Amino acid sequence: MHLSPANLHILLVEPSEVQRKIIRKKLAEEQVTQVEEADSLASAINKIQQHKPDAIACALHFADGTAEQLLIQLKADPSTAEIPFLLVSSETRKAQLEAFKQSGVVAILPKPFDAMQLGRALNAAVDLLSPAELELTLFDVHDVRVLVVDDSRLARNHIRRVLSNLGMQSIVEAEDGKQAISQLQQQMFDLVVTDYNMPEVNGRELTEYIREHSTLSHIPVLMVTSEANDTHLANIAQSGVNAMCDKPFEPDAVKQLLYRLLDH
């Protein structure tokens, strides 16, 4: 059975009672009615231990800590590491949100958010919980050889999970562009998914390396960047990437991009 947002059991972690009511109402409008509430990190951890939710929607700041602390704790425990985590925050400063983008949250919802933003976030959670394989006409998705390049282990884990859910079984990881180049010299790949910001060799330099080598130049490159609104995106595009994707890495957006890259 394919999961839908209405089937989701969500833990809403939000210190403000008013905000909890507003968010609950918006969730109800999306037919999400199984919502449990917590007003602190301690209470959230207690509820997660008692009954593991399908997804967590969490504010940024609490009297007893931050959403980042909760996320780190959840990711460190194999029994909770896979729970889709939605950050709900009025924070817009890049530096404050960067840690979440790198750690594999499924969505960052602004406060206030609209129905479309909430729908996308819920669908991203559903896509992670209820995998649907890509159906490619040109070749079997199971045979697609992917190189995932990101200096954040959590981000690599999240990207690997999204790709695995789409049916990709042959996934190799590299921690930065330098390691990726070494992997590309040793074996063949059908797709490279790379972060932009990395030490030593960044995503743009890696893409340029791929484009300059005749044995590699045909490989599609999907660039994942948390800086999707910056002017330097124009520079990235000129380096020869085939598609760009924002962090958080959304399963549905990725699916559309992969159809375009692999099935043309």
- Same domain flag for 229 and 125: no
- pLDDT per residue, tens digit, the chain (264 aa), is 467 889 999 999 999 999 999 999 999 999 999 999 999 999 999 999 999 999 999 999 999 999 999 999 999 999 999 999 999 998 888 888 888 888 888 899 998 899 999 999 999 999 888 888 888 887 788 999 999 999 999 889 989 999 999 999 999 999 999 999 999 999 999 999 999 889 889 999 999 999 999 899 999 999 988 765 555 566 666 678 888 888 888 888 888 888 888 876
Q: What is the CATH number for 239?
A: 3.40.50.2300
Which of 129, 150, 166 is a domain's end point? Answer: 129
Give the C-alpha separation, 223 to 34, whole Å.
36
Q: Which domain holds residue 184?
A: 141-262
Q: Are 37 and 19 within 8 A, CB to CB?
A: no
SS3 content of the chain, % helix, strand, coil (to 5): 45, 20, 35
Q: Which residue bears the tokens 């999240």?
A: 158
User: Which amino acid does the sequence have at 3?
Assistant: L
Interval 166-213: pLDDT, tens: 999 999 999 999 999 999 999 999 999 999 889 889 999 999 999 999
Name the pTM for this structure. 0.79
Residue 136 resides in a domain: no
Which of 129, 163, 184 is a domain's end point? Answer: 129
Give the C-alpha separation, 257 to 255, whole Å.
5
Residue 56 resides in a domain: yes
